[in-house]
Amino acid sequence: MYIDTHTHLNDPQFKDDFEAVLSRAKNAGVQSFIVSGYDQKSSHLAVSMAEKYPQIYATVGLHPSEVNPDTINIDWIGNLVSHPKVIGIGEIGLDYYWDDSQKQLQKEMFLKQIELAKKHQLPVVVHSRKAIEDTYNILEQTKHYGIMHCYSGSLEMAHLFIKLGFLLGIGGVVTFKNAHLRDVVQQIDLNCLVSETDAPYLAPHPYRGKRNEPQYLREIVNEIALIKQVSSEEVQKKLIQNTQLMFARLKL
């Protein structure tokens, strides 16, 4: 059995075949989904999906690429966090790859959302792209815990994030040949990993380039098992335990 700890079933790409995507995932052994919001609308949608389906949970937050002077009012996050199926704040963080014109504002909004998470004792789900040092500095300063979603940094940074209280979210990249993430997975204790698809993005091999779906989580977990030379069943069990320990509101 698998848990997709980070998926965007709230993405418009799943609008037309949502039920089919869920049933394919179920047939592939995916028992639960954490649907991640990235702005106000997608966060509300994640929560309404979580209300309708027992196997869906939500995280709510403002993604760094959605940060601009028009989106800085995040009162809506404060209104959603007390919902019992909102189990974390995310995805939040820093992204200097797509647009680095709002660096300062991104940092401010990242900080604000971490403070909210601390206040409500919820983990943060962190997105970091071309911004690993700034991300680390903020997390070190705020002293909170959570998941480094779709981790792709170095082994050295991985150890530092783990020391702060973070788990590494491992996605489809781990199935790509020559990905340095494979070395990171090999070297890092299984206790520090969780599995995710980040669907509809980043489909694992052999579906690379296609729309990703939670059903492909199996490929990701099997790859982790291969790299670590442990049975897939053992990896599945461990990843579910890790997820449960991170998300106190998750009821499996």
CB 245 within 8 A of CB 232: no
Task: Tell me how far, at minimum, the Cβ of 178 lies from Ni ion, in Å.
Answer: 23
What angle, 0 to 180 degrees and rounded to 10, lies between the N-to-C axes of helices 132-142 and 103-119?
30
The amino acid that residue 140 corresponds to is: E
Structure-token pair, residue 150: 């779709």
**Can you list the positions of beta strands (E) in the chain?**
2-7, 30-36, 56-60, 86-95, 124-129, 146-148, 166-170, 193-195
Cβ-proximal residue to Ni ion, closest one: 198
For Ni ion, which is the closer residue by CB, 126 or 240? Answer: 126
Distance of alpha carbon 230 from alpha carbon 239, whole angstroms: 13
Strand partners, 147: 125, 167
Q: What DSSP designation does 171 have?
A: -
> Which structure tokens are listed for 106?
């991104």
What's the min distance (Å) between Cβ of 86 and Ni ion?
Answer: 16
For the bound state, the minimum distance from the C-beta of residue 60 to Ni ion, rounded and expressed in Å, comes to: 13
Q: Is 4 in the site for Ni ion (CB under 5 A)?
A: no
Only one of the segments 82-90, 130-138, 191-199, 238-246 lies at the binding site for Ni ion (rule: CB under 5 A); that segment is 191-199
What's the rounded Cα separation, in Å, for the pair 150 and 169? Answer: 5
Contacting range for Ni ion; rule: CB under 5 A; set: 23-31, 46-54, 196-204, 211-219: 196-204
Decide whether 65 or 102 has the Cβ nearer to Ni ion: 65
CB of 33 to Ni ion, least distance (A): 13
Q: Which DSSP state fits 66?
A: G
- Closest separation between CB of residue 229 and Ni ion, Å? 29
For Ni ion, the closer CB: 179 or 226: 179
The span from the CA of 203 to the CA of 224, in Å, is 15
- Determine if 11 is a binding residue for Ni ion (CB under 5 A): no
How many chain residues are in contact with Ni ion, going by CB under 5 A?
A: 1
CA distance 12 to 10: 6
Interaction of residue 198 with Ni ion, rule CB under 5 A:
yes
Segment contacting Ni ion (CB under 5 A): 71-79, 101-109, 193-201, 241-249? 193-201
CA atoms within 13 A of residue 57's CA, in its CB half-sphere:
25
Closest approach of Ni ion to the CB of residue 247, in Å:
16
Would you say 39 or 198 has its CB closer to Ni ion? 198
- Contact 21/51 with Cβ under 8 angstroms? no
Question: Closest distance between Ni ion and the C-beta of residue 91, in Å?
Answer: 5
Contact positions vs Ni ion (CB under 5 A)? 198
